Amino acid sequence: MTAILLKGRETSRQLQSELAKSFSELAAATSVQPTLAALQVGADAAASGYLRAIRRACQGVEATLRPVELPEESSQGVVKAALAELNEDGSVHGIMVLEPLPDHIDSTQLNDLLSPAKDVDGVHPLNAGRLAAQREPHFVPATPAGAIKLLEEANVDFKGKRAVVIGRSDIVGKPMALLLLHRHCTVTIAHSRTENLPAVARQADILCVAVGRPAMVTGEWVKPGAVVVDFGTTYVDGALKGDCDQKSVAAVAGKFTPVPGGTGPMTNVMLMRNLLSAYRRFVSAPGT
């Protein structure tokens, strides 16, 4: 078996075109420029790569990216002050805090401080709680939202399927599990301490991997014909690598998102969709 590769570029281009039109119409009607602020502490390669991708996504919809780059040695107080300033800045409609952060920075404090109305990556507890309760309005984290959209476009059947999500981060693993649950999957969240992890993975009709360990999952972990979603974004010798060994997984899976070119393009366009929601709310009711 050779898996059908689910590439996000074509779908993302279509969505980008629709978003660009909406941004343009709102900007023309209100004379307000949509603006996304991205706060980065240090110069981690993955965070810097994501910043470049966000810049391209903003350019694609003619939104403004405002990078806020702080030295790696910045204290928690300095980073919180920078974030608080962005919260209060009326010209900023969306805010992202790029990860990974330096070890001495507590990301939980930053997520709690972030304005829920500008939290376009859905990390504030209010937005996370709304997602868990399946209540609108909320911002769904862009990476899992993009993966779900990609699977929907590929006509993946969710109802009653066994889904295994390897990874329990607040920004990918947990929200992906909730999005699958909301689509009537039976969901297992696995992680590094899960006993007999390969056997658990082999039970999945839909296997999602978000652990940050290049090529950890091999074809032996995959149920024949399964849908495999690889969220991995680790740079190895300057090249982007996924969490799956692509050759062996693609030989077993029915459908598979490659790295690069799979969920990545969808992540960026879904981020722009969240920014549009934040921007639209602001221009409809300034100051809210």
Three-class SS string for 27-56? HHHHCCCCEEEEEEECCCHHHHHHHHHHHH
Strand partners, 96: 38
- Confidence at 240, pLDDT banded by 50, 70, 90: confident
Residue 66: predicted pLDDT: 97
**Mean local confidence (pLDDT), 7-29:** 94
Ordered structural domains, the chain, with CATH? 31-120 (3.40.50.10860), 142-264 (3.40.50.720)
Q: What share of the chain is helix, strand, coil (3-state, %, to 5)?
A: 45, 15, 40
Q: Which of 222, 213, 223 has the alpha carbon at shortest distance from 259?
A: 213
Q: Is 195 exposed, middle or buried (0-12, 13-18, 19+ CB in 10 A)?
A: exposed
For residue 139, the model assigns a pLDDT of 92
What are the φ/ψ torsions at residue 27 (nearest 5 degrees)?
-65, -40
pLDDT at position 50: 85
Angle of CA points 188, 193, 194, to nearest 5°: 35
Segment 136-157, tens digit of pLDDT: 767 999 999 999 999 999 999 9
- pLDDT tens per residue, range 41-73: 999 987 898 899 899 999 999 999 999 999 999
Q: Which two tokens stand for residue 126?
A: 């209010």
